[in-house]
């Protein structure tokens, strides 16, 4: 019994980053977005050290035979929420569960995400994720590399006001949330909220520029920040080297966010030609999260799944995102990969590739959006490519994903920082 247990533990814990020769049947070059043929990727000390033509042996290296497989850089999902996973009981659970419960669940979500081929994620909201990130970095638990926003910043009653939908008695006991809790009204509050995120250890700032689908509030698309509040956030964020990600469904809120200088628009449901032009002018990225849209539109049809105030928003907004993505792609807006997992089930992130291709984006560009382009959004100069000096993050799928994008759901090999999972 003891031997079996020990063996299980050894399998479960990651191997040390040794020198590995990953012999790939084909390699997707994320910069040119094309397949370059058989390659052997040599990794040591957590980085790619060489990329050799063909499948060859390398003295002293452990060999991984991936003939018949396509290798590519580890995928990056720019919009997840590792601290939660929505379900019909999410709303009541907020009153029963502790952070420890959410943290323990998050460990499982992190492991699923990594094994699905996502070696890096940007988490756009959830305080527990800051601790999950640290635990993963310390090697205590298994999961992707995380860039975490910590608490999202909202205005009073906005999409990320943590006291939405609770009764007056509880509201009285909890008090009015302020910048510390990520709720701001006015530019001074906005500055304080960004500085508080710095104090908390966030890696990126997230704002909810318009209403949202899952919050206990009526409007999913009304603007929720004034120009001066957004500008205060973006300017303060710059002082700390932070990019700002803006959740937005409605047009007016998006406009204010883009003109205010945010880096990404998340969801972007009601974008139109005017917004596309504005994004191109400002160099703003679009992170579509089609998966979340499809998920909530489907669940809106299940009686009782969402509260009455949420269901109509889920139906209307959810169904729209894929159409918007199709138009944005045609208009030439810069698009990077994000799913909003935590709305849908963690580990199903690769569904987004299929939805992007369905929306008119060629498979090679969808893969590029989750590698080369997503790394640009993160400002990470050693992620998103398989090149000497880059972090040894590699995924492989059987066959050719450019012919059949659904192969991205059949990940056969995952390496992060040179460690095989």
Point out which residues bind Zn ion (CB under 5 A).
340
Residue 55 and residue 23 in contact, taking contact as beta carbons nearer than 8 Å: yes
Q: Smallest distance from the beta carbon of 125 to Zn ion, in angstroms?
A: 6
Q: Smallest distance from the beta carbon of 245 to Zn ion, in angstroms?
A: 9
Kindly report the number of other CB atoms within 10 A of residue 421's CB atom.
15
Q: Which two tokens stand for residue 245?
A: 């990600």
Q: Which residues contact 10 (CB under 8 A, 6 or more apart)?
A: none
Of residues 340 and 352, the one with the C-beta less far from Zn ion: 340
Q: Smallest distance from the beta carbon of 220 to Zn ion, in angstroms?
A: 13
Of residues 20 and 370, the one with the C-beta less far from Zn ion: 370
**Greatest C-alpha distance within the chain:** 70
- In the chain, what is the straight-line distance between the N-terminal and C-terminal CA atoms, in Å? 25
Of residues 77 and 340, the one with the C-beta less far from Zn ion: 340
Instruction: List, in sequence order, every residue forming a beta bridge with 21; answer none if it has no partner.
Output: 42, 63
Q: Smallest distance from the beta carbon of 160 to Zn ion, in angstroms?
A: 9
Q: Smallest distance from the beta carbon of 146 to Zn ion, in angstroms?
A: 15
Closest of 248, 190, 259, 245 to residue 219, by C-alpha: 248
- Cα–Cα distance measured from residue 57 to residue 212, given in angstroms and rounded to the nearest whole number: 53
Cα of 304 vs its chain's centroid, Å: 28
Of residues 340 and 393, the one with the C-beta less far from Zn ion: 340
Q: Smallest distance from the beta carbon of 414 to Zn ion, in angstroms?
A: 24
Angle, vertex CA 178, rays to CA 173 and CA 184, nearest 5: 140
Q: Smallest distance from the beta carbon of 340 to Zn ion, in angstroms?
A: 4
Of residues 126 and 384, the one with the C-beta less far from Zn ion: 126
Angle, vertex CA 60, rays to CA 59 and CA 63, nearest 5: 85
Q: Smallest distance from the beta carbon of 175 to Zn ion, in angstroms?
A: 26
3-class secondary-structure state, position 329? helix
Of residues 315 and 340, the one with the C-beta less far from Zn ion: 340
Q: Indicate the residue whose CB is closest to Zn ion.
A: 340
Kindly report the number of other CB atoms within 10 A of residue 268's CB atom.
29
Q: Smallest distance from the beta carbon of 282 to Zn ion, in angstroms?
A: 22
Residue 123, exposed/middle/buried by CB under 10 A (0-12, 13-18, 19+)?
buried
- Cα–Cα distance measured from residue 263 to residue 244, given in angstroms and rounded to the nearest whole number: 5
Closest of 10, 4, 135, 12 to residue 82, by C-alpha: 135
Residue 21, CA distances (Å) to 16, 26, 31, 68, 155 in order: 15, 14, 22, 16, 51
- Cα–Cα distance measured from residue 348 to residue 366, given in angstroms and rounded to the nearest whole number: 16
Q: What is the DSSP string of 360-384?
A: T--HHHHHHHTTHHHHHHHT-TTSS
Of residues 26 and 340, the one with the C-beta less far from Zn ion: 340
Of residues 30 and 129, the one with the C-beta less far from Zn ion: 129
Q: Smallest distance from the beta carbon of 384 to Zn ion, in angstroms?
A: 21
DSSP annotation of 324: H
Of residues 73 and 125, the one with the C-beta less far from Zn ion: 125
Of residues 203 and 340, the one with the C-beta less far from Zn ion: 340
């Amino acid at each position: 019994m003891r031997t079996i247990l020990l063996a299980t533990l050894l399998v479960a814990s990651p191997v040390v980053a040794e020198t590995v020769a990953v012999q790939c049947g084909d390699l997707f070059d994320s910069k040119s977005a094309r397949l370059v043929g058989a390659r052997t990727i040599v990794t040591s000390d957590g980085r790619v050290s060489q990329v050799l033509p063909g499948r060859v042996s390398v003295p002293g290296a452990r060999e991984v035979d991936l003939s018949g497989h396509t290798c590519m850089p580890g995928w990056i999902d720019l919009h997840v929420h590792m601290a939660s996973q929505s379900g019909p009981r999410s709303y009541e659970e907020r009153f029963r569960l502790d952070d420890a419960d959410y943290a323990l669940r998050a460990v499982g979500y992190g492991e699923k995400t990594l094994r699905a081929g996502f070696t890096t994620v940007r988490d756009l909201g959830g305080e527990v994720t800051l601790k999950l990130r640290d635990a993963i970095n310390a090697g205590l638990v298994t999961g992707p590399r995380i860039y975490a926003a910590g608490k999202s910043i909202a205005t009073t009653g906005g999409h990320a006001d943590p006291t939405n939908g609770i009764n007056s008695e509880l509201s009285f006991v909890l008090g009015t949330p302020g910048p510390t809790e990520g709720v701001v009204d006015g530019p001074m509050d906005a500055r304080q909220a960004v500085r508080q995120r710095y104090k908390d250890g966030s890696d990126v700032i997230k704002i909810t520029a318009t209403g949202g689908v899952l919050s206990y509030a009526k409007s999913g698309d009304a603007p929720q920040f004034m120009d001066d509040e957004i500008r205060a956030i973006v300017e303060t964020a710059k002082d700390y080297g932070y990019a700002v990600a803006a959740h937005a469904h409605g047009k007016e809120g998006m406009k204010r966010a883009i003109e205010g200088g945010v880096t990404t628009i998340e969801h972007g449901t009601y974008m139109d030609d005017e917004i596309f032009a504005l994004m191109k002018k400002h160099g703003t990225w679009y992170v579509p999260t089609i998966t979340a849209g499809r998920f909530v539109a489907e669940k809106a049809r299940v009686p009782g799944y969402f509260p009455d105030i949420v269901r109509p928003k889920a139906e209307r907004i959810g169904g729209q995102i894929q159409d918007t993505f199709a138009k944005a792609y045609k208009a030439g807006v810069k698009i990077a990969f994000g799913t909003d997992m935590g709305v849908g089930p963690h580990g199903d992130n690769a569904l987004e590739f299929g939805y992007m291709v369905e929306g008119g984006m060629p498979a090679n560009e969808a893969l590029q959006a989750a590698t080369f382009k997503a790394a640009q959004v993160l400002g990470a100069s050693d992620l998103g490519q398989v090149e000497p000096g880059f972090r040894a993050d590699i995924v492989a799928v059987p066959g050719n994903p450019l012919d059949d994008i659904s192969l991205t759901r059949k990940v056969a090999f995952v390496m992060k920082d040179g460690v095989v999972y």
